Copies of this chain bind each other. A is one copy, B any other.
Amino acid sequence: MEGAEATRIMMGVNESTIKGYPHASISSRGAFDWTLQKIVRSNTSGFKLLFLHVQVPDEDGFDDMDSLYASPEDFKNMKHRNRTRGLHLLEYFVNRCHEIGVACEAWIKKGDPKEVICHEVKRVQPDLLVVGSRGLGPFQRVFVGTVSEFCQKHAECPVISIKRRADETPQDPVDD
C-alpha cells in the first residue's frame, strides 16, 4: 500500500458559538485532534486534510445586529468581517497541519451547513468525512438539529462523527 494516493479526509469545522470568541469550536478541535492522533498518527504523508467551513448567512450578522446599514459599502464591510472570521478559523487548522507536516486544503462556503457539506462531499469526493458533534441530548437536538446525523445519512462517503469529550462540555452544551 506504499505509494498509493493519500487518503483524503474532509473535515467540517466551525467557530465557537460563544460570542466574542472567534476561534475553532471545542468539537471541531476535538475532531481534528482525534483524527491526527488516531488515524494519521506518524504517517503524515499518507493523508491529506480538507477543511470546509460553512458560514450560515443569517447567523453571520450576529455581531452586526445593532449596526446601521446605510450604503452598499456597509454590507461590503460586513462581508469583509465575516470573511476575516472564517479565514481566521481556517488559519488555525492550516497552521497546525503545516507544523505537523500534513498536506491540507481549506475553503469557505455559505449556506446550510449540513446541505453544503453533503454537496461538497459529492463534488470533492473525499475518502472520509469527519464531523465534530456536540453530543446534545434528544431535547436539544430538536431545536439545534445535528449536522452529524444528517451527514451520516446523506453524505456519499463514510462519515465519522466525533463527540465532544464529556469533560470538555461547557455548562450549556449548546455553547461550543
Stretch from A1-9, A82-90, A115-123 that touches the partner: A1-9
Contact mask A14-54 → B, CB, 8 Å, 1/0? 00000000000000000000101111111100100000000
Bound CA–CA A38/B9 (angstroms): 10
Contact mask A78-110 → B, CB, 8 Å, 1/0? 000000000000000000000000000000000
Q: How far is the CB of A136 from chain B (nearest CB, A)?
A: 13
Interface size on A, residues (CB 8 A): 23
Bound CA–CA A35/B56 (angstroms): 34
Contact between chains at A7 and B159 (CB < 8 Å) = no
Contact between chains at B38 and A127 (CB < 8 Å) = yes
B-chain residues with CB within 8 Å of residue A41 when the two chains form the complex: 1, 4, 7, 43, 46
Could you tell me which A residues sit within 8 Å of B by CB distance?
1-2, 4, 7, 34, 36-43, 46, 127-128, 152, 158-163
Which 7 pairs, one residue from A and one from B, show the smallest C-beta to C-beta distance?
A: A43-B43, A41-B46, A7-B38, A38-B127, A2-B42, A158-B160, A1-B42
